[in-house]
Structure 1
Amino acid sequence: MNKIKYTIFGSALVVFCLSFTACDKQLDLAPEDTTVETEVFQSASSAESALMDVYNKTYEANKSTAYTIGDFTTDLLVVHNSYNQTVIAGELPVDDYTTEQIWGNSYSAINVANVIIKSVPELGTYNEDLENQHVAEAKFLRAYNYLVLLKLFGDGALTGDFNGLGLPLQLTPYEGTEYDSGKALTRSSVQEVYLQIITDLTEALPHLLDNYEEDLETRSRATKGSAHALLSRVYLYMGDYANAASEAEFLIGNSNYTLNSDLRSVFPISSGYDVPLDKEFIYAIPLTFNNGNHQFGTHYYSYYFKSSYHLADDFIAKYSDTDQRKTSLIWQGYSGGSYGAKLTSSKFNNSEGRDNIPMIRLSEMYLTRAECLARTSGVTQEAIDLLNTVASRADANFSAYSVSDFTSGTDLVDRILLEREKELCFEGLHRYDLIRTGRKLQYKDLPENRYVLPIPKREIDITKGSLEQNPGYL
Structure 2
Amino acid sequence: MLKKLLLIGLISLGFYSCDDAIDIVQDGELNDERLFTNVGNMQMFLNEVYDRVSVQNDIMVSSLLTDEVGLGSAGFANDTQRFFIFSTNGYASAIWSQHYQAINYANRLIRGAQLVNPTTPADITAYNNILAQARAIRAFCHFQLLTYFSPDMSNNNAPGVMKMDYVPTIQQLNPRATTGEVFGLIESDLLFAENNISTATTGTDSWKYFNSNTINALRARMYLYRKNYVLAEQYADAAIANGPALATCTFGNSANIPQTTSVIPPYTAGQVTALTAMEAAAASATNAPLYRRMWVDQASAQGEMIFSLGRLNNNANFGSQYNTNQSNLGGGPLFDMGRTLFDLYSQPLGGGAEDFRRWSFVDRTSTISATPATATKNGEVIVIDKYPGKTGNAGSNDLKVFRTSEMYLIKAECRARANDLPGAALLVQQVRQARNYIAAGIVPLPVYGSNMAAYADILLERRKELAFEGHRYIDLKRLGADAGVTSTDRYPQDSVNASATNPANINVTDYRFTLPIPQNEVTVNPMSQNTGY
**What is the TM-score with the length of structure 2 in the denominator?**
0.75
Q: Are residue 384 (structure 1) and residue 422 (structure 2) matched? A: no
Q: 2:218 maps to which residue?
A: 230
Whole-Å separation in 1 of the counterparts to 2:399 and 2:299: 11
Partners of 1:276 and 1:288 in 2: CA distance: 15
Offset at residue 223 of structure 1 (A)? 0.4
After TM superposition, the structure 1 = structure 2 runs for residues 135-284 of structure 1, keeping only pairs within 5 Å, are 135-157=131-153, 160-175=154-169, 179-180=170-171, 183-209=172-198, 211=200, 214-216=203-205, 218-254=206-242, 256-262=243-249, 264-268=289-293, 275-284=299-308
Q: 1:52 is matched with which residue: 47, 53, 60?
A: 47
CA shift digits 1:388-444 (9 cap, x unpaired): 211101114243316xx2223332232222111111111111111111113423532
Q: Corresponding residue for 2:334?
A: 308
Secondary structure at the aligned position of 1:211 is classed as coil
Question: Would you say 1:400 and 2:444 are equivalent positions?
Answer: yes
Q: In the TM superposition, what is the alpha-carbon distance from 1:98 to its structure 2 partner?
A: 4.0
Indicate conservation of the 8 Å contact 1:232/1:244, yes or no. Answer: yes
Q: What is the letter of the counterpart of residue 62 of structure 2? A: G
Query: What is the alpha-carbon distance in structure 2 between the residues aligned to residue 386 and residue 446 of structure 1?
Result: 26
Letter in 2 for 1:138: A
Q: Over the residues paired in the alignment, what is the CA RMSD in angstroms?
A: 3.1
Q: Which amino acid aligns with 1:295?
A: N
Unmatched segments (≥5 aa) in structure 2 = 251-288, 349-353, 368-375, 491-504
CA change 1:119–1:152 in 2 (3 A) is same
CA drift at 1:367: 0.9
User: Cα distance, 1:100 vs. partner?
Assistant: 2.6
Residue deviations 1:56-108 (CA, integer Å, cap 9, x gap): 1103xx22x33221122222222355564x22454333234443332222111
> Pick from 324, 337, 361: which aligns with 1:329?
361
The one-letter amino acid paired with 2:511 is N
Query: 1:333, CA displacement in angstroms?
Result: 5.7
Verify the 8 A CA contact 1:287 1:354 in the aligned structure 2. Answer: yes
Q: What are the Cα deviations for residues 345-367 of structure 1, in whole angstroms up to 9, with x where unaligned?
A: 32111374211211111110011
1:134 and 1:379, CA in 2 relative to 1: closer, same or farther beyond 3 A? same
Report if the CA contact (8 A) 2:474-2:513 is conserved.
no
How far apart are the structure 2 equivalents of 1:284 and 1:349? 16
1:111 paired residue number: 104
Amino acid at match of 2:360: S
* Letter aligned with residue 137 of structure 1: Q
- TM-score, length of structure 1 as denominator length: 0.83
1:455 aligns with 2:455: no
- Based on CA coordinates, which of the two structures has the bigger radius of gyration? 2
Evaluate the alpha carbon distance shift between residue 124 and residue 221 of structure 1 in structure 2; reply closer, same or farther with a 3 A threshold. farther
Corresponding position: 1:285 with 2:309: yes
The code of the aligned residue for 2:305 comes to: F
| CA spacing shift, 1:234–1:120, aligned 2, 3 Å | same
Of the three residues 464, 469, 476, the one matched with 1:422 is: 464
1:12–1:53 CA contact under 8 A, matched in 2: no
Give the corresponding residue for 1:472: 532
1:270 deviates by 7.5
Q: CA–CA distance in 2 between the matches of 1:416 and 1:334?
A: 28
Change (3 A) 1:266 1:120: farther
Match of 2:382 in 1: 343
Contact 2:71 2:77 in 1 (8 A): no
Percent identity over the alignment is 21
1:172-223: per-residue Cα shift (whole Å, max 9, x none)? 0123xxx21xx3121111222223222211221111236257421x111000
SS of alignment partner, residue 359 of structure 1 = strand
C-alpha change, 1:284 and 1:195, in structure 2 (3 Å) is same
Listed as ranges, the gaps of 5+ residues in structure 1 are: 1-5
Q: Supply the AA of the counterpart residue of 2:158.
A: G
The change in CA–CA distance for 1:11 and 1:118 in structure 2 (over 3 A counts) is same
Q: Is the contact between residue 40 and residue 50 of structure 1 (CA under 8 Å) also seen in structure 2?
A: no
Given candidates 32, 36, 42, the residue that maps to 2:37 is: 42
**Cα distance change, pair 141–83 in 1 and its aligned pair in 2 (3 A):** farther
Q: Which amino acid is 1:116 matched to?
A: L
Look up the match of 1:317: 343
Q: How many residues align?
A: 440
> Equivalent residue of 1:427, what SS?
coil
Post-superposition CA distance 1:372-400 (Å, at most 9, x none):
1111133243x333222111011142433
